């Protein structure tokens, strides 16, 4: 009976659990460090379990609809109503993919943070904000309502900014938090304006309902731009990426790792807007907006990696690589969007390109999260992120070195790690669209490898340095957090096809099948 209740209310519990964990955190924190740590672990474990259970349910049975306040959770339309008025979550295979990413990442990252942040003060606030960030990101990927999306975007942005500025003793962190908050607020203002434009015209906020009514008027075009550009900025696409290195560098590493996931939720929203909301309109130029993504992707890939190479701060270097890797996702899905109107091209390579792009999202969340966590481990033991000062740590931190190697080889697309599998899908499918783009993607991978060879050499190789003689392996929670992410990187690399079959392909189909998304809400109406 309990099983049935939980399974029926999974979408609501997915948001309620981290919110509950966040709001009780100040109270639980008073009970001592052990109780607080246990509460954090339990909150993260439960949220992840619910996220994975929801994803499993969606992939096994199809889209899950959850309507708040209705007689039954599946009653999308009130009796005799022409359009949905209630708040609802609509979890299709694409949302399920994102829920898996958030669930796995948040668990590994939270466990890691238990040791990494243990010496800091104000941890009740830190974890309250971390759970709010997790709730915000989860809400962004499961909601079927545009205004709700804005609310969750704001929750994640504000919690993210607070976490970036968490180490207030470092003025740079506060500055980075302010930059993140400013950019997020300006972006959110544009998103809210777009939602207002759509609501004024169509009297609806529900995504499926709006998708069914959209006419592609001049105002709709303005709304599209006001939605798409800020979301591209939030995912760190060049030339709106400038906040990324500033923010990722100064935030605590566990926060940085989750900010990567938060950026990917914006990427999800960008794809959702372009495909589900606008993608079906005959007046909508698939090629134009496909090339919008492709151009952003190529710029992000190339400028991201070339800016990374000269960096001396390891986290700043990794932040530029995060920009670069986002480019691969934009390129893969952009090619899919560009050929959306061409059934033959979509079938022969468009869907494969999209699969590569979406597979790269989950792969990137894991290996980039892992890399940021290893950078945090190094900082914890040495007190510096400066690559000119570091060296010889392979002697004293061998496990951290192994985890770094796994992440570095994965991001560079070296087989047999997961980054290679998703990049291979992108290379081969994009080559059929434009060989030039594919070659750029391969060159960027080579430059990525070169950049991480430099980091590996600078941090781990060479004779032991006297100033880091006290450096030793990280505590168990940090080790476990890194091991969880590393395990995914290896497993997804060694057996990519089951991931494609059971997680990625359904997500691609869900992204392309807008009529299925609309029908889940409106039925025949």
Partner 1 sequence: MDVTQTLQTGSGAWNPLLWLLALAVALALALAIRSRGRKDFREGNGRKPFISGNEEPGNAGGHVPASNLYWGFLESLKGYYSRLVPLHTGVPTDYVAWLLGVMALMLVIGLTI
Question: Which phi and psi angles does 474 have, rounded to 5°?
Answer: -75, 160
Stretch in the footprint of partner 1 (CB under 8 A) among 25-33, 216-224, 364-372, 399-407: 216-224
CB neighbours (10 Å) of residue 336? Answer: 31
Shortest distance, position 113 Cβ to partner 1, whole Å? 27
Burial label for 423, CB within 10 Å (0-12, 13-18, 19+), is: buried
Stretch in the footprint of partner 1 (CB under 8 A) among 97-105, 323-331, 422-430, 514-522: 422-430
The Cα–Cα gap between 239 and 124 comes to 36
Question: Which phi and psi angles does 428 have, rounded to 5°?
Answer: -70, -40
Report how many residues bind partner 1 under the rule CB under 8 A. 70
Instruction: Give the one residue of 6, 27, 35, 222 binding partner 1; rule: CB under 8 A.
Output: 222
Instruction: Give the one residue of 75, 118, 306, 434 binding partner 1; rule: CB under 8 A.
Output: 306
Question: Which phi and psi angles does 407 have, rounded to 5°?
Answer: -65, -45
Shortest distance, position 278 Cβ to partner 1, whole Å? 11
Which positions from 236 to 275 touch partner 1 by CB under 8 A, shown as an x/- string? Answer: ---xx-xx-xx-----------------------------
- DSSP-assigned letter for residue 524: T
The Cα–Cα gap between 310 and 300 comes to 16
Shortest distance, position 78 Cβ to partner 1, whole Å? 35
At residue 35, the 3 state secondary structure works out as: helix
The Cα–Cα gap between 396 and 116 comes to 18
Instruction: Give the one residue of 16, 465, 467, 473 binding partner 1; rule: CB under 8 A.
Output: 465
Structure tokens at 246: 């500033």
Helix (H) or strand (E) holding 18: helix 10-29
**Contact 334/301 with Cβ under 8 angstroms?**
no
Q: Is 391 in the site for partner 1 (CB under 8 A)?
A: yes
Q: Is 233 in the site for partner 1 (CB under 8 A)?
A: yes
Structure tokens at 517: 């998304």
Cross-strand pairs, 16? none
Q: At what angle do helices 351-382 and 476-494 cross, to 10 degrees?
A: 160
Applying the rule CB under 8 A, the residues between 96 and 125 that interact with partner 1 are: none
DSSP β-ladder status, 88-91 and 64-67 = antiparallel
Q: Tell me whether residue 196 or residue 239 sits nearer to partner 1 (CB atom).
A: 239
Structure tokens at 193: 């304006």
Instruction: Give the one residue of 69, 383, 415, 435 binding partner 1; rule: CB under 8 A.
Output: 415
Stretch in the footprint of partner 1 (CB under 8 A) among 124-132, 133-141, 155-163, 423-431: 423-431
Shortest distance, position 169 Cβ to partner 1, whole Å? 20
- Is the C-alpha dihedral spanning 344, 349, 355, 358 positive or negative? negative
Shortest distance, position 512 Cβ to partner 1, whole Å? 16
Which positions from 49 to 88 touch partner 1 by CB under 8 A, shown as an x/- string? Answer: ----------------------------------------
Q: Is 525 in the site for partner 1 (CB under 8 A)?
A: no
**Contact 104/48 with Cβ under 8 angstroms?**
yes
Instruction: Give the one residue of 46, 174, 309, 442 binding partner 1; rule: CB under 8 A.
Output: 309
Residues found near partner 1 in the complex (CB under 8 A): 178-179, 182-183, 186-187, 190, 218, 221-222, 224-226, 228-230, 232-233, 239-240, 242-243, 245-246, 285, 288, 292, 303, 306-307, 309-310, 312, 348-349, 352, 387-392, 415-416, 420-421, 424-425, 428-429, 431-432, 450, 454-455, 457-458, 461-463, 465, 493-498, 500-502
């Amino acid at each position: 009976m309990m099983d049935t209740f939980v399974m029926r209310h999974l979408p609501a519990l997915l948001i309620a659990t981290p919110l509950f964990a966040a709001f009780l955190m100040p109270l639980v924190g008073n009970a001592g460090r052990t109780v607080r740590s246990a509460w954090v672990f339990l909150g993260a474990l439960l949220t992840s379990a619910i996220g994975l259970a929801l994803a499993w349910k969606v992939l096994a049975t199809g889209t899950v609809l959850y309507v708040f306040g209705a007689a039954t959770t599946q009653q999308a339309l009130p009796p005799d109503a022409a359009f949905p008025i209630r708040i609802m979550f609509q979890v299709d295979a694409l949302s399920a993919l994102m829920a898996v990413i958030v669930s796995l990442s948040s668990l590994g990252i939270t466990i890691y943070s238990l040791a990494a942040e243990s010496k800091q003060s104000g941890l009740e606030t830190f974890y309250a904000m971390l759970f709010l960030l997790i709730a915000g990101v989860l809400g962004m990927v499961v909601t079927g309502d545009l205004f709700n999306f804005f609310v969750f975007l704001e929750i994640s942005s504000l919690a993210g900014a607070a976490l970036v500025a968490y180490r207030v003793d470092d003025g740079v962190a506060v500055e980075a938090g302010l930059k993140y908050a400013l950019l997020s607020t300006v972006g959110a203002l544009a998103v809210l304006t777009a939602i207002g434009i759509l609501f004024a015209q169509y009297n609806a906020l529900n995504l499926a309902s709006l998708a069914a009514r959209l006419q592609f008027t001049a105002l709709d075009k303005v709304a599209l731009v006001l939605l798409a550009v800020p979301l591209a900025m939030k995912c760190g696409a060049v030339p709106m990426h400038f906040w990324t290195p500033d923010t990722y560098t100064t935030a605590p590493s566990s926060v940085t790792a989750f900010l990567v996931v938060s950026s990917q939720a914006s990427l999800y929203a960008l794809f959702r807007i372009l495909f589900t909301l606008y993608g079906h309109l005959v007046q909508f130029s698939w090629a134009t907006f496909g090339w919008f993504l492709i151009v952003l992707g190529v710029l992000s890939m190339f400028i991201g990696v070339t800016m990374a190479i000269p960096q001396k701060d390891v986290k700043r270097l990794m932040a530029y690589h995060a920009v670069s890797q986002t480019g691969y996702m934009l390129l893969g899905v952009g090619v899919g969007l560009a050929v959306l109107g061409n059934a033959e091209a979509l079938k022969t390579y468009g869907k494969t390109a999209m699969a590569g792009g979406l597979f790269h999202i989950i792969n990137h969340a894991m290996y980039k999260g892992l890399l940021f966590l290893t950078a945090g481990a190094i900082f914890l033991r040495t007190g510096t992120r400066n690559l000119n000062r570091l060296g010889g740590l392979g002697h004293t931190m061998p496990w951290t070195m192994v985890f770094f190697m796994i992440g570095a080889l994965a991001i560079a697309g070296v087989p047999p790690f997961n980054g290679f599998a998703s990049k291979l899908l992108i290379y081969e499918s994009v080559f059929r669209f434009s060989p030039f783009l594919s070659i750029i993607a391969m060159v960027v991978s080579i430059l990525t490898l070169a950049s991480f060879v430099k980091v590996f050499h600078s941090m781990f190789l060479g004779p032991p340095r006297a100033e880091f003689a006290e450096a030793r392996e990280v505590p168990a929670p940090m080790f476990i957090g890194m091991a969880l992410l590393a395990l995914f990187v290896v497993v997804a690399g060694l057996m990519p096809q089951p991931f494609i079959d059971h997680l990625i392909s359904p997500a691609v189909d869900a992204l392309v099948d807008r009529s299925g998304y609309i029908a889940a809400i409106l039925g025949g109406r």
